[in-house]
Amino acid sequence: SQQGEEDPQALSIQEGENATMNCSYKTSINNLQWYRQNSGRGLVHLILIRSNEREKHSGRLRVTLDTSKKSSSLLITASRAADTASYFCATDGGSNYKLTFGKGTLLTVNP
Number of H helices, E strands in the chain: 0, 11
Judged by CB, which is closer to another protein: 54, or 98? 98
Q: In the set 18, 78, 98, 110, which binds another protein (CB under 8 A)? A: 98
**Distance in angstroms (rounded) separating the CA atoms of residues 51 and 7:** 20
Enumerate residues 5-64 that contact another protein by CB under 8 A: 30-31, 33, 35, 40-45, 48
Residue 30 burial (CB count, 10 A): 13
Peptide bond just before 8 cis, omega within 30 deg? yes
Told to check if 99 binds another protein by CB under 8 A, we report yes
Task: Give the binding site for another protein (CB under 8 A).
Answer: 1-2, 4, 30-31, 33, 35, 40-45, 48, 88, 90, 92, 96-104
